[in-house]
């Protein structure tokens, strides 16, 4: 029994990291109906900046995470400004934006693989915290797990406050419901879209930093799989819905870990993706998605 609890904890750790990435996908989709495929690469950049922060620049880890979040917020806004906004203003079809997103993703991956940027090596991440473990009712938990769980919870509460308790959050919700009406009400739609990218990218950066601490190895292509899983989680939960993304991510994390633990490691990804198909068969809009979903 303790064994199952401990595995659930492993799954929770993975699911929490996916959750931070998934909300970025879901917010951007909620507002401009774009699947931002470059999101996984923003996650990767966040991991690199945070690791440079607490290794080469000697920052304490909370500061390193903040620096990574800031850097990626700027990067996210930059991507939106340079790649997506020109298309939106010209009224290009959505498929054009989607393909641009794939292009941006590949560009980031291969550009950062160049030797004068990050290089294509796999880097080991040194331990940030001294190794420490506790046994609580026979369940073993380590300080990195605690760090991941607490940081994600704090960030999710922060996100809820921003979206539901601030003016800019209200504007985000308004834009996602009806962009034209929002513009008529005097909301600067482009600025709000930029803000949404910044917020989502900052959360992805935090996820990258935590991922690098929990699974300590980084390289320029590390964002692909977590990005894909988080996207799946967002769809599973109902894309466009923040609580849906969180729920979907938790389910994905658990399924992956429990499959590896009790069935076979050979099918951990296969079963996670098969679950997506199953859910979509019975609930095409995802677990918490509505037919007219409340977005953002």
Q: List interacting residues with another protein (CB under 8 A).
A: 3, 6-7, 10-11, 13-14, 113, 119-122, 124, 126-127, 131, 133, 140, 142, 144, 215-217, 219, 222, 225, 256-258, 260-261, 265-266, 268-269
Q: Distance (Å, rounded) from C-alpha 179 to C-alpha 31? A: 8
3-state DSSP assignment of residue 135: strand
Q: Which is nearer to another protein, 3 or 283 (CB)?
A: 3
Q: Distance (Å, rounded) from C-alpha 18 to C-alpha 15? A: 5
Shortest CB 155 distance to another protein, Å: 20
Whether the Cβ atoms of residue 32 and residue 225 lie closer than 8 Å to each other: no
**Number of C-beta neighbours around residue 213 at 10 A:** 25
Q: Distance (Å, rounded) from C-alpha 235 to C-alpha 260? A: 22
Q: How far is CA 56 from the centre of its chain?
A: 25
Nearest Cα residue to 84 out of 7, 218, 193, 8: 193
Shortest CB 31 distance to another protein, Å: 31
Shortest CB 191 distance to another protein, Å: 37
Q: Which is nearer to another protein, 18 or 84 (CB)?
A: 18
């Amino acid at each position: 029994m303790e064994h199952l609890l401990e595995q659930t904890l492993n799954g929770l750790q993975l699911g929490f990291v996916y959750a931070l990435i998934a909300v970025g996908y879901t917010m951007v989709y909620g507002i401009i109906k774009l699947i931002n495929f470059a999101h996984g690469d923003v996650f990767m950049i966040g991991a690199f900046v945070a690791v440079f922060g607490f290794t080469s620049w000697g920052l304490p880890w909370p500061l390193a995470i903040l620096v990574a979040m800031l850097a990626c917020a700027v990067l996210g806004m930059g991507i939106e400004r340079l790649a997506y906004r020109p298309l939106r203003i010209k009224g290009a079809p959505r498929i054009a934006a989607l393909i641009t997103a794939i292009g941006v993703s590949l560009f980031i991956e291969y550009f950062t693989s160049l030797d004068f940027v990050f290089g294509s090596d796999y880097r080991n991440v040194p331990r940030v915290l001294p190794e420490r473990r506790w046994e609580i009712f026979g369940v073993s938990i380590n300080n990195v797990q605690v760090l991941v769980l607490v940081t994600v919870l704090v960030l999710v509460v922060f996100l809820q406050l921003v979206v539901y308790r601030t003016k800019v959050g209200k504007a985000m919700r308004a834009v996602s419901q009806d962009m034209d009406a929002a513009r008529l009400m005097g909301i600067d739609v482009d600025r709000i879209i930029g803000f949404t990218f910044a917020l989502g990218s900052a959360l992805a950066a935090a996820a990258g930093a935590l991922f690098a601490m929990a699974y300590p190895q980084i390289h320029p292509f590390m964002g692909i799989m977590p990005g894909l899983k988080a996207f799946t989680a967002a769809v599973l939960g109902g894309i466009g819905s923040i609580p849906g993304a969180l729920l979907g991510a938790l389910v994905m994390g658990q399924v992956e870990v429990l499959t590896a633990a009790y069935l076979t490691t050979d099918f951990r990804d296969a079963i996670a993706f098969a679950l997506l198909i199953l859910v979509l068969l019975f609930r095409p809009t995802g677990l918490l998605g509505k037919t007219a979903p409340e977005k953002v």
